[in-house]
Amino acid sequence: MAPAKATNAVQLLLGSTALWLSQLGAETVSASKAVTAHLAAKWPETPLLLEASEFMAEESNEKFWHFLETVQELAIYKQTESDYSYYNLILKKAGQFLDNLHINLLKFAFSIRAYSPAIQMFQQIAADEPPPDGCNAFVVIHKKHTCKINEIKKLLKKAASRTRPYLFKGDHKFPTNKENLPVVILYAEMGTRAFSAFHKVLSEKAQNGEILYVLRHYIQKPSSRKMYLSGYGVELAIKSTEYKALDDTQVKTVTNTTVEDETEANEVQGFLFGKLNLLVY
Q: Per DSSP, what are the bridge partners of residue 141?
A: 144, 184
β-sheet bridge partners, residue 216:
187
pLDDT tens column, 111-162 = 999 999 999 999 999 999 888 888 999 999 999 999 999 999 999 998 989 9
For residue 274, name the pLDDT band (cuts at 50, 70, 90).
Answer: low
Mean pLDDT throughout 13-34?
A: 50
Tell me the pLDDT tens digit for each residue of 62-120.
Answer: 999 999 999 988 988 887 889 999 999 999 999 999 999 999 999 999 999 999 999 99
Phi, psi of 193 (to 5 degrees): -70, -35
| Helix ranges (DSSP H) in 75-192 | 83-94, 100-112, 116-127, 152-157
CA distance 61 to 67: 10
Instruction: Give the pLDDT band of residue 17 (cuts 50, 70, 90).
Output: very low
What per-residue confidence (pLDDT) applies to 177?
84
**220 class by beta-carbon count within 10 Å (0-12 exposed, 13-18 middle, 19+ buried):** middle
3-state secondary structure of 180: coil
More confident residue, 17 or 62: 62
pLDDT of residue 264: 55
> What is the tens place of the pLDDT at every residue in 213-265?
999 999 999 988 888 877 666 676 777 777 777 666 665 555 555 555 555 55
Least confident segment among 9-13, 191-195, 253-257: 9-13
Q: Lowest-confidence range among 8-17, 34-43, 56-65, 230-239? A: 8-17
Higher local confidence (pLDDT), 17 or 151? 151
> What secondary structure letter does DSSP report for 150?
G
Q: CA–CA separation, 127 vs 208, rounded Å? A: 30
At residue 13, the 3 state secondary structure works out as: helix
181: Cβ contacts below 8 Å, ≥ 6 apart: 209, 210, 211, 212
- Mean predicted confidence (pLDDT) in 3-26: 48
CA distance 137 to 216: 10
What does the alpha-carbon distance between residue 126 and residue 139 come to, in Å, rounded to a whole number?
10
Q: In Å, how far are 107, 120, 159, 226, 270 from 43, measured between CA atoms?
A: 21, 7, 34, 7, 81
**Domain segments of the chain as ranges:** 40-228
pLDDT of 61 higher than 70: yes
| Among 135, 166, 129, 163, CA closest to 151 | 135
Condensed to tens digits (0 to 9), the pLDDT of residues 170-183 reads 999 999 888 789 99
